[in-house]
Chains A and B, each alone.
Chain A
Amino acid sequence: MATEPIDLEAAGTCVGPDGSAIGMPQLCADWMPNQIFWLLIALAAIYFVLSRIALPRIATVLAERQGTITNDIAAAEDLKQKAVEAEDAYNKALADARSEAQAIIAQNKAEMQAELDKAIAKADAEIAAKSAESEKAIAEIRASAVESVEAVAKDTAGSIVAALGGQADDSTVAAAVDARMKG
Chain B
Amino acid sequence: MATEADGHSDGGLVFHPMDQFIVKPLFGDGAVNMFTFTNVALWLLLAVACVIALMVLGTSKRARVPSRTQSVAELAYGFVYKMVEDVTGKDAVKYFPYIFTLFMFIVFSNFLALIPSSFSPTSHIAVTAVLGFGVFIAVTVLGFVKNGAGFLGLFWVSSAPLALRPILAIIELISYFVRPVSHSIRLAGNIMAGHAVLKVFAGFAAITAVAPLSILGITAIYALEVLVAFIQAYVFTILTCVYLKDALHPSH
- What is the interface of chain A, defined by CB distance below 8 A to chain B? 1-4, 7, 9-12, 14-15, 18-21, 23-28, 30-43, 45-47, 49-51, 53-55, 57-62, 64-65, 68
Contact = CB atoms under 8 A, between A and B. Distances in A.
Contacts of A9: 31
A182 to B, nearest CB: 124
14 contacts: A4-B2, A15-B22, A18-B6, A19-B2, A25-B19, A34-B23, A34-B40, A35-B40, A49-B52, A50-B51, A51-B101, A54-B59, A58-B74, A61-B59
Contact of B22 (A14, A36, A41): A14
A64 B65 CA distance: 11
Contacts of B77: 55, 58-59, 62
B84 interface: no
Interface in B13-62: 16, 18-19, 21-23, 29-36, 38, 40-41, 44-45, 47-48, 51-52, 55-56, 59, 62
Contacts, number: 161
A31 B101 contact: no
Contact of B36 (A32, A34, A47, A51): A34
Contact of B121 (A7, A10, A35, A55): A35
A38 B59 contact: no
B105 A33 contact: no
Q: Is the interface of A mostly helix, strand, loop or mixed?
A: helix
Contact of B73 (A25, A45, A54): A54
Contacts of B2: 2, 4, 18-20
Contact of B105 (A32, A46, A64): A46
Interface string B119-138: 00101111100110000000
A38 B21 CA distance: 16
Interface of B: 1-3, 5-6, 9, 16, 18-19, 21-23, 29-36, 38, 40-41, 44-45, 47-48, 51-52, 55-56, 59, 62-64, 66, 70, 73-74, 77-78, 96-98, 100-101, 104-105, 121, 123-127, 130-131, 188, 192
A109 B70 CA distance: 74
Which of A12, A20, A30 has most B Cβ within 10 Å? A20
A68 B64 contact: yes
A46 B32 CA distance: 24
Nearest to A41: B44
Contact of B123 (A26, A27, A62): A26
B101 A57 contact: no
A21 B2 CA distance: 11
A30 B70 CA distance: 41
A21 B74 contact: no
A32 B126 contact: yes
Contacts of B74: 58, 61-62
A61 B77 CA distance: 12
Given A20-B6, A50-B55, A26 B124 contact: yes
B121 to A, nearest CB: 7
Contacts of A50: 51, 55, 97, 100-101, 104
A45 to B, nearest CB: 5
Contact of B31 (A10, A26, A36, A53): A10
Contact of B130 (A11, A27, A40, A58): A40
Nearest to B96: A55
